[in-house]
Structures are given as structure tokens and as C-alpha cells.
Amino acid sequence: MKSELKPPRKNFKSGDVVKVRFETMALGGRAKGVPLDADPIVSVFVQGAAPGDLALCRVTQVVKRYIEADLVEVIEPSKCRVQPACPHFGECGGCQWQMLGYQAQLSAKEELVRYILARKGIDRSLIKPIIPSPKEFGYRSRVDLEGFLSPERCELGFFKSRSHERLDIRTCPILMEPMDGSLEEIKTAILNVRDIAASNIPFKVRLIYDQLNRRILVMPFRGTLRGRGESTVFVLDDAKLHVMPENGPMPGYQVGHFQIHFDPTGFIQVNPFVNEHLVKKAVEALKPEKTDEVLELFSGAGNFTMALAQSAQKIFAIENSPDIEMAKQNADIAGLDNIEFIQSAALDAVQFLNAKQSKADLVLLDPPREGGGQELMRAISRLGPRRIAYVSCHPRSLALDLESLIMMGYRVESVQPFDMFPQTYHAETLTILDFHG
């Protein structure tokens, strides 16, 4: 019979101010602590607090097992607390952890990955020390901002923390410097192109720093970008917006000695400095040989594909979005002829291969935040790969998929976290699995 959680010694209600000692960071960016005047089994979650803080917090919600609260005052600041670099921090919903020193951020992310995977029975010792970002700020090459145009001005920014109210920003230190230093120029340039958006109607703007061509791309849009032709792509030049020529150079970034060109409406890893390490580690850990056939799922514009094709006999690259067309161009530019590109949903492609009784020696997958799902994991296992490399940006969905693969006879060899997103709670991971029947 399960033991009942003891109720707090105090019956908290919304609006109460409680003194809390914070211990750890939790998934979602909040700090987790215990109220000093209640049973220690009751947890308090607060945005903006840091491990080691002693603070006054105002209760916003009381749930059976925990309390949510807002930070009112830090009485004793933690040793890991630092002055945020951004003047908008706290009000802006873009970053969550700028109040933490960088080493504290790394430790918290590493521990979060260990905690979440351990709950699914994965040995904590298999999680390697996190690989830091070479840049704590100025790393982000792409961002989608909320826009609003009035006859007098253009506002660009993020939603405020826990709100749908827009915040007009002057600076964003996590953006690559050319973009961060040009935000006011971009606003003025948008204001001068009146057909970008109607006045008083919200829209979005995607900013990309095209590293290969050293230029800023500006893309106003509404809704969700689903492929080419859904937005005009402008180039910022001399404080003005010019339509990007269709026959001009495509935007791109470097991975090793490969140039990865991409469609501005598609997906790219936003931190090219960490991405370089991620691709290298993934290929080294997967260990493709010249006789191997590799199945790559969610292959995008070829971020991993080109490096894999150097070592393997054959790559089957599966991608359901228009990004696959850019991947084909990238392969042609690189002179690689051992890649077969298949535009398909991952599950449909793997089920088709299973129906043909095909086999794969190795598999690499890089799914979206929601993961691949149990059905896909089972289908992958039926292909009989001896080794799987799983790239994930969400530990919880990773944990569920690993649970499925373990049931299919695979064993986790290692989990390598990467800090792809400094100043936020997000962490990227590379998990390597071997088949052990």
C-alpha cells in the first residue's frame, strides 16, 4: 500500500508569502525549493530563483504535491547568482537562466539529464559531463521575433514571461553580434517597407545570420513557415531591406569542411559552434565503416548526412520537409554520390523498409522535441541495426524512446549532453545504443 504524502504543516493559499530555501533547478527553468515553515516533502517551484537562494515568494497556485510561487525578494543570494547581461531579463520570456553563472547552468543541465533518465532506469554514470558552448552569449544564428507595426514605429521582441503580451526589445545578447547590433536598424527598415504587414496587426519576423555570406536575412511572416514561397526573404544592407535574389547565393554554415546550405524557412541548429562538436561526436560514436549502410531519420538539410557519407558505404536520408531539396544540393556540391534521399515521414519510411525485409547496419535519428514515439522505435529495432545514435533536444521524450529501445534489446552505452542553448534550461543530448539481444 502506497504511503500518503504528508500535508504541509501550514495550509497555504494563493497570495501567501512564504520563505523558501532553494536547492536545485527543475525542467522548465524554475528553481525547486522547500518552504521553511512546512513539511520538507512539499516542493516550491519559482521562476528566477537560484540554487542556494533564501527568498520570499508569493504563492500563486497550490497543488497536492507542490506549490507554485513568484519571487518577491532574495534575502540571501546564492553564490552561483550573477547579474544578468540583458536589460530585459526577468520581463522577457526568451531566456530563463541569465541569473545563474555559466558553470552553475552547466551543472544544472547535466543533473537534469541524469535525473530524468534515471527515472527510466538508465544508470546515472552513463551520462557524460556536459560539453559547454564555446560562447555563452552571441551564439544564436536564428530567431523568430514577435512583430507589431504602427504608423509611427515597428516593435520587435518576445512575449513577456508567462504572458501573451509583446515586449519590444532593444537588445538580445544571445543573438550573434551582427543581429543583436542591428535590431534598431531592422525595425526602421521594416517600417520603410510598408507592404510587409498591415498596421496594428501582429506578425512575426525571422532573423538569420548567414555565416557563409556574412549577411542578415529578414523574413516577415504570419502563422507557421512551412516551406519556400511562404515569406519574402530580405537582406539587410545599408540599413535597408532588399529582396534576396533567387539566383543569388543560398544561406549556409560550415560543418567541418562541408558547407551546409539551407532554406531560410527550414530548420537549422541555432548554435553553429556547438553543432560542430555535436556532428563530430555523433559520427565518431556511431563508427560507420566502409561496408555499412546507414539509415538517417529526420535528416533535414544534411547536417549529419555529409559527414556520415564520408565513412559509410551508403546513406539512406529520410526527411519529410522541403529541406530535403537543399540536402540534395549540398550532396552535389560536396561531390557525394553514396546518399539516397527519400522524402517521407520517418515511420512510413521505416515501415516500408521493414515490409521489404531491409536491414540497416547503423541508424542516426534527430527527431523534433516530441521524440520519435514507441511505434517508430519498434520499427527501427526490426531493421536490426547494431548501433543507434539518437540526438535529442528534450530529455523527457528521449527517456520515453530509450525505454522502448531498451525493451527491444538495446543497451545505452553513453549519453553526452551538449549546451546548445546557453542562458536557457534547454539541453541537447547524443545517446549511443548497442544491440545486446
Instruction: Give, in degrees to the nearest 5, the angle at Cα 206 between 200 and 210.
Output: 150
- The catalytic residues are 393
Grid cell 532574495 in the structure block, residue: 74
Domain annotation covers residue 261 = no
Domain annotation covers residue 370 = yes
Residue 229: what pLDDT? 58
Q: Please tell me whether residues 276 and 338 are part of one structural domain.
A: yes
User: Which CATH number is 127's domain given?
Assistant: 3.40.50.150
How long a stretch of residues is the chain?
A: 437
Given strand 240-243, what is the order of strands in its sheet?
A: 166-168, 154-159, 142-149, 203-210, 215-221, 234-237, 240-243
Domain that holds residue 370: 114-133+271-435
Domain annotation covers residue 86 = no
End-to-end CA distance of the chain: 35
Q: Please tell me whether residues 77 and 118 are part of one structural domain.
A: no
Domain annotation covers residue 321 = yes
CB contact at 8 A, 396 and 417: no
CA atoms within 13 A of residue 10's CA, in its CB half-sphere: 15
Q: Please tell me whether residues 153 and 234 are part of one structural domain.
A: yes
Phi, psi of 34 (to 5 degrees): -125, 140
The amino acid occupying position 141 is: S
Domain annotation covers residue 313 = yes
Domain annotation covers residue 251 = no
Domain annotation covers residue 259 = no
**H/E element, 412:** strand 410-418
Q: Please tell me whether residues 221 and 308 are part of one structural domain.
A: no
Q: Please tell me whether residues 303 and 407 are part of one structural domain.
A: yes
Residue 41: what pLDDT? 67
Q: Please tell me whether residues 319 and 389 are part of one structural domain.
A: yes
- Grid cell locating 103: 558553470
Q: Please tell me whether residues 278 and 392 are part of one structural domain.
A: yes
- Which spans in 222-289 are helix H? 272-286
**Residue ending a domain, choose from 60, 81, 102:** 81
Please state the pTM of the whole predicted model.
0.93
Give the torsion through C-alpha atoms of 62, 66, 71, 77, to 10 deg: 150
Rounded-to-integer distance, Cα 113 and Cα 115, Å: 6
Residue 227: what pLDDT? 60
Q: Please tell me whether residues 71 and 164 are part of one structural domain.
A: no
Q: Which residues of 14-51 are buried (b: 16+ CB within 10 A; e: fewer)?
A: eebebbbbbeebbbebbbbbbbeebeeebbbbbbbbbb
The series of mean pLDDT values per 10 residues for the chain, 437 residues long, is 48 89 93 83 91 96 90 96 96 94 97 95 96 98 93 91 91 97 95 73 93 96 70 92 92 95 93 97 96 98 97 97 96 97 98 96 97 98 98 96 97 98 97 92
Rounded-to-integer distance, Cα 42 and Cα 44, Å: 7
User: Which CATH number is 49's domain given?
Assistant: 2.40.50.140
Q: Please tell me whether residues 213 and 275 are part of one structural domain.
A: no
Q: Please tell me whether residues 125 and 169 are part of one structural domain.
A: no
In the chain, how many domains are there?
3
Q: Please tell me whether residues 426 and 373 are part of one structural domain.
A: yes
Q: Please tell me whether residues 307 and 410 are part of one structural domain.
A: yes
DSSP of 148-169: EE-SS-EEEEEEBTTSS-EEE-
Residue 188: other Cβ atoms inside 10 A:
14
Rounded-to-integer distance, Cα 416 and Cα 432, Å: 9
Instruction: Give, in degrees to the nearest 5, the angle at Cα 186 between 185 and 188.
Output: 65
Domain annotation covers residue 91 = no
